[in-house]
Amino acid sequence: MSDLADIPPQPLPDVDTEGFWQATAGGYLAMCRCRSCRQWLQPPLERCRICAAETAFEPVAGTGVIYSFIVVRQAAVPGYLHDLPYVVALVDLDEQPGLRLPGRVVDIDPGDVSVGMRVAAELVALPGGDHVVPVFRAVGVSRGPEGAMTS
Amino acid sequence: MTTASLSGAAVVGIGRTPYVRRSGRTALAMAAEAARAALADAGLMSGDVDGCSCYSTGGPASPMQVAHAIGVDDLGWCASVLGGGNAVASVVAGAAAAIVTGQAGVVVVYRVLGSETRYGKALGTIEAPGEAQFAAPHGYLVPPQWFAMWCRRHQAVYGSTAEDLGAIAVQERAHAARNPHAVARQPITIDDYLGGRWVFEPFRVFDCCYEVDGAVALVLTSAERAADLPHPPVFPLAVSDANGCGGSVDQWADMTAMYSRDAAPRLWAKVGLGPADMDLALMYDCFTYTVMATLEDFGFCQKGEVGDFFREGRATYGGDVVVNPHGGLLSEGYIHGLNHHYEAVLQLRGDAGDRQVAGAETALVTAGAGPYGGALVYATAPA
């Protein structure tokens, strides 16, 4: 196989998104937020979609709840062709309802992942370049999709 | 002006190529074949054509190239929409609107997919711009992964099951068995479905559409001119799109419902009809879950009831409505939803042979999934 097949897709930042990658490279997770109305915005925008004020990247705790997840069992994306299965989740961050980030859920049996599970982000280097990405790890007590405790 | 004026235009011709895994042909060659077939079906000549439109995600064979390839010398109306299944309803309705408003007299609408376009894998992706930059580095990039994510949420909230998804796949395959044009005609059982290999759990292989090479073309003209052509015209009554959340497949607030949550009530209000009035439902089925969520949104059944809807025979001949009698994208083949329009027209003409829905007069045709899509209602009589 070629070397390229071993390299996962690299983020291609633009001026609206580069703050996210600067933060992760600096060791913390940050999301785009309106300086005026304080709305969090994902994907990032130069101006707030609600009030058109300037935005900036502000640190987030990196904790949240799994909104949904998949178990990837078929090779479909370079960098992951031999690393099967793996779990990708959409995580609703605690800062704002529906503020959501995708990321792998690591160090867990896929059968133990559930919707509503609480997770925390951890920063890891992305092979093939200089970028640092958040991955998620299960923490503490989980909640069901309606917020009911399930375990 | 009301949207009912769309039925001042009609679909008068349909054409297609064979659907095959690997054609060895260019997209332009296939698009031209489908366009010529649709024109011949309409009893028209290339010299009659003055409009051409398509949608694509950036593929080859532009409308001006296709029109040129079939001998059109003067193309007065030309539109190429950047979009996938989400664009189908508005592209077809746009052609009808061009005719109704006098911008064009005869329009060819087509979609072609060649072997260079396969959406299930992204093996060539090296850099991910835009919103994909947050997802792709995690090996999360292709549509079956997105909609598996949506499906899991529905399962968690409404308790829908693998067996419910399987009921959709099994029914569509049974329909395809009566369609000689379908690529997958061998019937499957629920056990076959459940024994299918996982791709992106909760999706198995049978949850995903069958990607093929091929093209479909429609010819539209005015209702007045249609009256003199060989086939009974099929009229678009109304259309409604919905495009939410900036098209983000990750940020959509409630993944148990799709664009259709917003498009469906608008469409039913425009057309003055409801799900009970439909003889056919050509439901966009890039994945089984798309059928599940959109059937709920269009009001054919309640949330979480789609599995029973299929198991009880309500989605086939003799039931409430015949869903995808051609086998859909799951079993006939993936021509990005324009093959649903072909089937709707064939059925409403009464020309569907062994799989004809008796007395069919109305058809809902949906397109798209997730945050974006649309739908159109066709009928044998104008509004």
Q: Which of residues 127-146 of A touch B (CB under 8 A)?
A: 131, 133, 135, 144-146
B162: three-class secondary structure by DSSP: helix
Task: Give me the catalytic one of B193, B259, B284, B342.
Answer: B284
Q: What is the per-residue pLDDT for A142?
A: 57
**What's residue B117's pLDDT?**
81
Residues of B in contact with A110 (CB under 8 A): 201
A146 or B365, which is more confident? B365
Distance of CA B42 to the CA centre of its chain: 21
List of chain B residues whose C-beta atoms are within 8 Å of the C-beta of residue A85: 201
Distance from CA of B251 to the nearest CA of A (A): 6
Q: What is the pLDDT of residue B81?
A: 94
0.80 surpassed by pTM: yes
Percent pLDDT > 90 in chain A is 85
Considering only CA atoms, which of B58, B18, B11 is closest in space to residue B335?
B18
Say whether pLDDT at A150 is over 80. no
Strands of the sheet with A30-34, listed across from one edge:
A40-41, A30-34, A55-59
B255 near B369, Cβ under 8 Å?
no
pLDDT at position B239 is: 96
Confidence band for A145, pLDDT divided at 50, 70 and 90: low
At residue B269, φ and ψ (nearest 5 deg) are -65, -40
Residue A5 has pLDDT above 90, yes or no: no
Is there a contact between A76 and B148 if contact means CB atoms under 8 Å apart? Answer: no
pLDDT of residue A151: 38
- Which residues of chain B carry a pLDDT beneath 70? 1-4
Determine the residue type at B352.
A
Determine the pLDDT at residue B3: 45
Phi, psi of B213 (to 5 degrees): -95, 140
Distance CA B275, CA B296 (A): 10
How high is the pLDDT of residue B351? 98
B284 noted as active-site residue: yes
Does B244 reach chain A within 8 Å, measured CB to CB? no
Minimal Cβ distance to A102: which of B135, B150, B153? B135
pLDDT tens readout for residues A10-42:
999 999 999 999 999 999 999 999 999 999 999
